[in-house]
Amino acid sequence: MTSSQECKLSMSVGTVNYLDKNASITSILPGYEPLITRFRLNIYQITMLRDQQEVDTSGIRDNKALLRVGLAALAYDISRKTEAYASFANNLILVKEVHFAETSLTKATDTNLASRAQIIYEKAAANLTNLTPYGVTEDDLIALKNAGDLFRAAVPTTRTGSTEKKLITDKIARLIKENDIILEKIDLLIEIVRLSQPDFYKGYKDNRMIIKTGKGSLALIASATDAATGEGFKGVKFTFIYQNGNGTSVRSAEPLVKITSKKGRFNVKNMAEGTYLVLVEKPGLKSQELHINKAAGDRLKLDVKLEKI
């Protein structure tokens, strides 16, 4: 999922939770139930698809790469031994048939490697009795055949993985678009109780706000030091709680929690724009609460001096 889609999903989860907690109000809205049911189902599907999408396909690629290396090594070893036999037997046709430079196997396309390994296998199998003195056994040929079969089976797997991932990406986009339309309809229904339920209405608007993740190399540099000595404190917990305009927490925004390192520092790479309540705490130290404001493109520096209890 893109960062924009992740932000929308986070907003959607916060919004549906808020609406569920206020079912006594939403239950009077005409046509609300089928909308929220579909909305909730879409959130579930998006979450499941995201988890599936994030399955690391590198394992598939790594497995194919290992199979490729093994097949090329076996094929080259048997081709050299078969070529040696053919040369001593003055079988020039067989020499040509099994002569492959090592790079022609290791750097071949998937299809060519599989094809060349199969040729080497077939030619060696046809001359197995004569190849025994050259160190080619039946077990060697079985190993080569199995390696070839496994490699050929692995070749389409990576393409299938990429195709499936693309289908999942498209489906997530469709579900998010559908939820955007549903939310626009729910927005209109919420307007019905704007005057009669002002607190509920305001809370809904807060949760409906999409908090966009800022982009940049570094958003915040923070440190926690001893007010007396200036030395850094390790293990100090900073909790950043996103605030709305009147200083109350936005329920849809998960708090950002960071712990200072050995030198009493930490960095935050991405941070949404806006105001944060920051809780700074560690057993044995006096806790602090402070507010910071993150503007677009700004890099904040937060130095907190703590006193021991």
3-state secondary structure (DSSP) of residue 235: coil
Question: How far is it, in rounded angstroms, from Cα 41 to Cα 50?
Answer: 14
User: Are the C-beta atoms of residues 86 and 95 closer than 8 Å to each other?
Assistant: yes
In this structure, the answer to whether residues 242 and 118 fall within a common structural domain is no
Residues 32, 173 share a domain:
yes
Nearest Cα to Cα of residue 240 among 292, 299, 298: 292
Domain edge (last residue) among 180, 210, 240: 210
CA 204, CA 279: separation in Å to the nearest integer? 25
Cβ neighbours for 215, distance < 8 A, ≥ 6 positions apart: 3, 270
Looking at the structure, tell me whether residues 60 and 111 fall in a common domain: yes
Q: How do the pLDDT tens digits run along the chain, 309 residues long?
A: 777 788 788 888 889 888 999 999 999 999 999 999 999 888 988 888 877 665 555 555 667 788 889 999 999 999 999 999 999 999 999 999 999 999 999 999 988 999 999 999 999 999 999 999 999 999 899 999 999 988 888 776 555 556 677 788 889 999 999 999 999 999 999 999 999 999 999 889 888 876 554 444 568 889 999 999 889 999 999 999 988 655 555 544 678 899 999 889 999 888 887 888 999 999 999 999 999 988 766 778 899 999 998
> What's the pLDDT score for residue 297?
64
Q: Are residues 124 and 206 in the same domain?
A: yes
pLDDT of 215: 45
| pLDDT score of 299 | 76
> Does residue 142 sit in the same domain as residue 44?
yes
Any bridge partners for residue 190, and if so which?
A: none
Q: Are residue 11 and residue 91 in the same domain, yes or no?
A: yes
CA–CA separation, 204 vs 16, rounded Å?
10
Q: Please, are residues 13 and 176 in contact by the beta-carbon 8 Å criterion? A: no
Domain boundary among 176, 210, 244: 210
Q: What domain range is 241 assigned to?
A: 220-306
Q: Global pTM? A: 0.43
* Residue 202 located in a structural domain: yes
Q: Residue 302 sits in a domain of what CATH number? A: 2.60.40.1120
Given a contact cutoff of 8 angstroms between Cβ atoms, the answer to whether 232 and 266 are in contact is no
Token pair recorded at residue 298: 């700004």
Structural domain total, the chain: 2
121, 44: one domain? yes
- pLDDT score, position 24: 94
Helices 138-190, 32-53: crossing angle, 10 deg rounding: 150
Burial of 211 (0-12, 13-18, 19+ CB in 10 A): middle
The burial of 188, by beta-carbon neighbours within 10 Å (0-12 exposed, 13-18 middle, 19 or more buried), is given as exposed
- Only one residue has tokens 């999408």, namely 53
